[in-house]
Chains A and B, each alone.
Chain A
């Protein structure tokens, strides 16, 4: 019986105009295009420069800032208000104002103050941008110091050196952070969203009623809906691995078997979630809205973009209820840190719990006859 139902599902799948195309495009979208868009990396910051000194030092400083790679000089103004205007028009993000007598003060007073004013509507950009700029200025003053102080004087007591080091992702590539998590999103779409929409579609067409009067067992019917998407989901996941490998050289540090194992568990849980939705929705519009609502909540609470640790306490509690949180943690851990299964027992337990919960709920809420 299952054989005939599966035959039907596959025929319908490949006959539809959009689904097969979507399945092929999806991994490329998620792994290639999306990381380009979903990029919190701060670069090409537009800088408005107000140079009130026009001295060698001020020129050198501007030169150093513009060659740093982070900044692009977008505006050279005569006064601060004029520079501010360019920030208001969104032409510039940060203003660097060098005071009059900058060079003279440095030489005589051995100290000078420059002003950094950052558009901080976007906190990340304002905060990181101004600290990058402050860092470059700090370097510049070190250079000047070494010009003025002779080698013997250079050692001053009470100084220490700070060197940052980044583990697991030493080049701080944003794609390495996003890609493993995006693979999860593809799985969630294919194995949670699509089968649910498919079932609601049969409800709306009345064909499900026809199925209900046949001897088809309800579990077999649902299995026939899920299996094709599970198979397709894993094919797509594999394509994602290959695409990430070819284009980013991103290879999991840990074992692929662990990833497949967790992916299977997650797919089981998320399909259950999709089924719950399909049991409550009677029209495609309702199903889409419910999905949109819950999936958005799951995503925002999953730490996909920003760390959960930064959220307020109540949101951190809430995030424990997002199945996406656990699978994203697992994929990042395995991909970047090379964690093994024994280190991931907690997420395994929680995801198993989700799988039991959603599928149990789906079975309880599904009624072939009432």
Chain B
């Protein structure tokens, strides 16, 4: 496993995401409370937490969708507060809500996003064919996205989000509602992307998926309560699985949902 490589991300030049004391308040409610962490190039970084723990808010700030109340964040070398448009150009994003256009065909969706991210016109068509071949979707090029099964759509959405070879890709619960076989295939795609040097920042509810990550952070009530490799976390919390680690941490939450 590559896990060992990432135990101590000391080389700061290799960091793709750097977050220092990031905080977001909505009125009197603190959704994200003074979090700090770093993610290195090519790393698969798992972002865990119960519903309402602040995962999505943190992620939206990193993508430039929300302005932080205080603190600092650098993504792909750009400040998330002052250079959010540059951040957007160097990341990929796939949300838990399915976000391809249902009334566009498969190749049309790919062409749209490729075009938006500035992939040169002449490269789009050959790269599209290459991608479809890789996915085994050659026969579906002309299919409307709305008639694809959910698992296929998710795989396609992921491929679209890294089509322009971003430095980081943010995945917000990408495997929700997908069957185990497809989930397995999805994670294989994630590893492939990470091998190419794309940093993967992923939120998930599935604890078995947490085990696939190089490092995992667990958020409780807006704070990061634990951050390490799955193996170290299990050791630290004296647990046999990530699931147990998660339960032990979640018990501390003020608004205990579990």
The interface of chain A, by Cβ under 8 A from chain B, is 1, 3-5, 7-8, 11-12, 15-16, 205-207, 209-210, 212-217, 368-370
Contacts and interface: CB of A to CB of B under 8 A. Distances in A.
A221 B51 CA distance: 32
Contacts of A369: 64-67, 84
A210 B99 contact: yes
Contacts of B89: 215
Contacts of B112: 4-5, 7-8
Q: Which of A3, A15, A215 has the most CB of B within 10 A?
A: A215
Contact of B97 (A12, A206, A368): A206
Interface of B: 63-67, 84-85, 88-89, 91, 93, 95, 97-104, 108, 111-118, 170
A5 B114 CA distance: 11
A206 B103 CA distance: 14
Contact of B103 (A16, A210, A215, A217): A16
A3 B85 CA distance: 19
A contact face: mostly helix, strand, loop, or mixed: helix
Given A3-B115, A12-B104, 15 more contacts: A5-B115, A8-B104, A8-B108, A12-B103, A16-B103, A205-B102, A206-B99, A207-B99, A209-B65, A210-B93, A210-B95, A213-B88, A213-B93, A214-B113, A215-B118
A214 B115 contact: no
Nearest to A4: B115
Contacts of B108: 8, 11
Contacts of A214: 88, 93, 113, 116-117
B137 to A, nearest CB: 19
Nearest to B160: A210
Contacts of A209: 65, 95, 97, 99
A213 B64 contact: yes
A4 B64 contact: no
A12 B105 CA distance: 10
A370 B65 CA distance: 7
Nearest to A15: B103
B99 to A, nearest CB: 4
A206 B95 contact: yes
Contacts of A213: 63-65, 88, 91, 93, 170
Nearest to A217: B85
A8 B88 contact: no
Nearest to A214: B116
A141 B149 CA distance: 84
Contacts of A206: 95, 97-99
A207 B94 CA distance: 10
B82 to A, nearest CB: 12
Contacts of A212: 65
A206 B56 CA distance: 15
Q: Which of B67, B98, B115, B116 has the most CB of A within 10 A?
A: B116
8 contacts: A3-B115, A5-B116, A12-B101, A12-B103, A209-B95, A210-B95, A215-B116, A369-B66
Contacts of B65: 209, 212-213, 368-369
B116 A216 contact: yes
A1 B104 contact: no
Report, nearest first, the 7 A-B pairs whose CB atoms are least far apart.
A4-B115, A206-B97, A210-B99, A213-B93, A215-B89, A215-B88, A213-B63
A62 to B, nearest CB: 65
Contacts of A3: 115
Contacts of B100: 207, 210
A176 B155 CA distance: 59
Contacts of A7: 111-112, 115
Nearest to B99: A210
Contact of B67 (A8, A205, A215, A370): A370
B117 A215 contact: yes
Nearest to B61: A369
A4 B93 contact: no
Contacts of B170: 213
A147 B197 CA distance: 109
A17 to B, nearest CB: 10
Contacts of B64: 213, 369
A11 B105 CA distance: 10
Contacts of B67: 369-370
A198 to B, nearest CB: 12
A206 to B, nearest CB: 4
B118 A1 contact: yes
A29 B18 CA distance: 60
Given A1-B115, A215-B85, A11 B99 contact: no
B66 A4 contact: no
Contacts of B88: 213-215
A15 B101 CA distance: 12
